[in-house]
Amino acid sequence: MLWNVDLTLVDVAKVTRAAYAEAFAVVTGRPLVQLPQMAGRTEPEVFFDALALNGVSLRDPAESEGLLAPFGAELATSLAARRDLLTTEGQLLPGAAESMAAVAGLPDAVQSVLTGASRPNAALKLRAFGLDRYVDLTVGGFAGSDPYPKGALLRVTRQRAEEKYQVSFTDRATVYIADSPRDVEAARIGGARSLAIASGRASSNELRDAGADAVLPDLTDPAALTAFITTVP
């Protein structure tokens, strides 16, 4: 079972935006006036769009690539400096901990994450709310760190889990739990079932139209979530 983090399990958008703004200014020397849409997107995608939206003109496209690694490091530093604000200005979404605990109780279930954040940033957010106890981050997919789009990264993540646990995880037995149409598409490309949670910016209808295998309004019904997981077509 692969979980998206932001707006599926936790909402720390206010803290993340502040960290983005600080890191962007340090790396580019320009203020972050306009932040791109973040839902369902990876940290590199957001950074490259932010360059364009905020008028950072680079003569060579390779220059923007060269800024990505320093930005990622600075973002991790900025977010870590705000770790105490994650719980005071952010929130654990309703039912998140209970749902992860319910999945942990399923026979042979392995939980990890597939997120647009980097490994340190995702781990920091999960740890702040005590969710890291439920997931094996060593097999997770972190699109902010890994050089793959989310769909391909899902397959890489599954391969990592298969190698570690010596178990074959079929397409139908692999579930991606996330909140955006882009995540639904990543599940399709990666060969997994998608359980969409309408806790983010997309409505239930938008998630169904994107092709989600099932949609829940939130995570407050762990029984419905585990029923979907255990009913493999």
Residue 48 has what pLDDT?
A: 87
Q: Quick one: pLDDT at residue 56? A: 82
pLDDT given at position 58: 66
pLDDT score of 59: 64
Report the distance separating Cα 214 and Cα 73, nearest Å: 36
The residue count of the chain comes to 233
pLDDT tens track, the chain, 233 positions: 999 999 999 999 999 999 999 999 999 998 999 888 887 788 988 998 899 889 887 666 667 778 899 999 999 999 999 999 999 999 999 999 999 999 999 999 999 999 999 999 999 999 999 999 999 999 999 998 888 889 999 999 999 999 999 999 999 999 999 999 999 999 999 999 999 999 999 999 999 999 999 999 999 999 999 999 999 77
Alpha helix stretches (DSSP H) within 82-218: 83-89, 96-104, 119-128, 150-165, 181-190, 204-209
Query: Which DSSP string corresponds to 139-158?
Result: G-EETTTSSS-HHHHHHHHH
Write down the pLDDT at residue 223: 98
Beta bridge partners of 11: 91
- In this predicted structure, what is the pLDDT of residue 61? 64
What does the block give as tokens for 196? 């969409």
- Cα–Cα distance, 180 to 196 (Å, whole number): 7
CB of 143 closer than 8 Å to CB of 163: no
- CA angle, 121 as apex, 100 and 180 as ends, to 5°? 60
The torsion region of residue 52 among left (phi > 0), alpha (psi -120 to 50) and beta comes to alpha
Q: Minimal CA–CA distance to 128: which of 92, 160, 76, 102?
A: 92
Rg (CA), the chain: 17
Which neighbouring-strand residues pair with 193?
175
Q: What count of other Cβ atoms lies within 10 Å of the Cβ of residue 141? A: 28
